[in-house]
Structure 1
Amino acid sequence: MSKSRSAFTLVELLVVIAIIGVLIALLLPAVQQAREAARRMSCGNNLKQLGIAMHNYHDTYRVFPSGYYQTLGYDVRPYNTSGHQQRYCYARSILPFIEQTALWELLDAGQKLNTPSWQIPGITQVVPGYMCPSDGAGPKLSKEGFGGNYLGFHGDSRYYDQGWNADERMNGMFFALSKVRMADVTDGTSNTMMMGEINLIPEGGVDATVTDRRGMYNMCYTGNATLSANVTPNSLTPDVQEAGRFVNTDYAPAVSAGSGGVYATYARSRHPGGVQVVLVDASVRFVPETIDTYVWKGAATRSNGEVASQW
């Protein structure tokens, strides 16, 4: 009688390894897609909560929060002694409505002492609801505070396209000293975008020199904390930023505005094929990067009368 074999042959072992390798190669894309689907769902939930918070703010104050409280022209308003003091935005205003009342009280107390917005204790506290889980650059922290992925739309143009101090005359939901009411959204709350996404540039931490101000909620000016729909999502067209305050990358391209130039931050995301936005009615949509430019621009304005037939 022949002896029973107690081990695999080398050929059999190689075949098994090859089969396992093929199975892993087939499964990895599916796993990655499942993970991205989960991250995208979490991102959409963040935007949904921000939309609800905006509604609650409006219910309380009968107006949506201002885009930011300092104009690009450094005018002294509404009560501070320097135009540089109030460089904060809607992201701070709605903190009490996203279960961040303690942080809001800390920031508000510092602001009332006429302290510059980027020097108030608490500005480096991370708010998870402002971060897209698909963007590995978050949380974005610098000596000027915490920055997030979600910005409000100021309209379909760039800052200064309409002249000096045009930041107070934009046609979107959030701009300098804006006081937009629900009744002002005559294009329809289900047709008008409120907030969207950007890609973040990682910083070196709170002790490092600031290199990119896009998404910085406590250092708002030159269009770095609001979105322009002048170009469609994930465009290769670079953002236009203040000289020396940005980093140009392939996933968040930027150029300098130069002296007297225009300023703009465009919608981008790490989600394949498009970006997520929350509309004024607090519903969330995924907008493909192939969207028609006219439709995209129209969705960023509150009362221009566009017909959103393709939306």
Structure 2
Amino acid sequence: MTHSYPRHRGFTLVELLVVIAIIGVLIALLLPAVQQAREAARRMSCQNKMKQLALAMHNYHDTFGSFASGGISDLSTQASNFCSKTVGSGGLGFSQAPWTVLILPFIEEGPRYDAFDLGAGIISIQDIAAHGNANAANRTEWFRNNDKYQCPSDPYSNEATRTNNYYGVQGGETPFCTNSGGNRFWNKDGMIYHNSGTKFRDATDGSSNVFLLGETNYQPTLESNTSDPQYSTWASSDWPRDYGIPSQVASASLPINSQDPPVPGGGHVFDVASRTFGSYHPGGCQFAMADASVHFFAETMDLTTYRTLAKRSDGLPVGGFGSN
């Protein structure tokens, strides 16, 4: 009597290795696509944040009749008053909130705005860092994070660093004045600068042809405490007065992404931060125009066109300015 038994066939070692190799190749092909999709999502999120900030600027304009100032102080806009300032060259009580604080009520941060004591005796960077009783309200807000000012593509933009990735555009190539060997730029031909009060009517080149806000990854420092002037909720500081450093604004002078990005615990010197825009998005960075539209500008764009877009009324045509 003949009996038949079922035959069981297994994988050979060679077949198993081939399957593993094929899976590995497929994963290697898939990962870049996943990373690109994630970056595209981060870039869209960043674009939306810039859009909301630009619209907040519009709402501020509707309420107060001008765009928020890049930074307020009792120093006039004369070169001798702030471009010549260096460490320890003045007293306290001069500088107050920049645009990042002034627009808080228009980005649904009214309670946070109310927490600042903008009329108090202004506290210097050193006082905030060294003295717990300097100004309790402003000091508390100083050390609080605000992700509405942070690009999700910046790997160092988080609770620990409290950086600001969005600066006002204070102008173009030629600075109104400079200090620190001519490297720290102060402009006033843009839309947002020290003691500015520009209006829509001042953008005679057309609101769609003038930068309002730009991305930056060139914060002077990434320290988690002490003397970082780039916290996204910065207010009541002496930077323009005693140090001659523009804060929360930059000039479109050096090409986009032309400097290496900072590293954790390090950062850039102030001359880079005051005249360079850039981002962690591959190939360029985003700008919000005065009409609140947001565009991506390639780092390879024409430098003259780039600088022209930072000026509100130079009279130069820039139709088809090469953004994506």
The answer, yes or no, to whether TM exceeds 0.5 is yes
Residue 137 (str. 1) matches residue 156 (str. 2): yes
TM-score, length-scaled by structure 1? 0.80
1:78 corresponds in structure 2 to none
The correspondence of residues 134-283 of structure 1 with structure 2, limited to 5 A, is: 134-139=153-158, 146-157=162-173, 161=177, 170-199=188-217, 203-206=222-225, 209-210=226-227, 213-214=229-230, 217-218=234-235, 219=237, 220-221=239-240, 222-236=245-259, 254-255=268-269, 264-283=274-293
Q: Which letter does structure 1 place at the counterpart of 2:304?
A: Y
Give, in whole Å, the separation in 1 of the partners of 2:58 and 2:222: 32
Q: CA deviation at 1:309?
A: 3.0
Q: For the structure 1 residues 248 and 47, does the alpha-carbon distance in structure 2 shift closer, same or farther, using more than 3 Å as the test? A: closer
Indicate the SS of the match to 2:34: helix
Q: Count matched residues.
A: 284
Query: Structure 1 residue aligned with 2:119, among 101, 106, 112?
Result: 112
5+ long unaligned stretches in structure 1: 76-80, 239-246
Question: 1:69·1:86 contact (CA, 8 Å) conserved in 2?
Answer: yes
Give, in whole Å, the separation in 2 of the partners of 1:163 and 1:32: 42
Indicate the SS of the match to 1:266: coil
Structure with greater helix share of residues:
2
Give, in whole Å, the separation in 2 of the partners of 1:184 and 1:97: 22
Cα deviation 1:82-133 (Å, max 9, x = unaligned): 55552431000000000000000001xx222224275413122222211100
Residue 127 (str. 1) matches residue 146 (str. 2): yes
Q: CA deviation at 1:147?
A: 3.0
Q: Which letter does structure 2 place at the counterpart of 1:270?
A: Y
Question: 2:185·2:274 contact (CA, 8 Å) conserved in 1?
Answer: no
Residue 287 (str. 1) matches residue 284 (str. 2): no
Give, in whole Å, the separation in 1 of the partners of 2:83 and 2:307: 28
1:244 corresponds in structure 2 to none
TM-score, length-scaled by structure 2? 0.77
Give, in whole Å, the separation in 2 of the partners of 1:42 and 1:200: 20
Q: Which letter does structure 2 place at the counterpart of 1:56?
A: N
Q: CA deviation at 1:213?
A: 4.1
Q: Which letter does structure 2 place at the counterpart of 1:45?
A: N
Q: Which has the larger radius of gyration?
A: 2
5+ long unaligned stretches in structure 2: 76-80, 85-89, 129-137
Question: 1:274·1:288 contact (CA, 8 Å) conserved in 2?
Answer: yes
1:242 corresponds in structure 2 to none
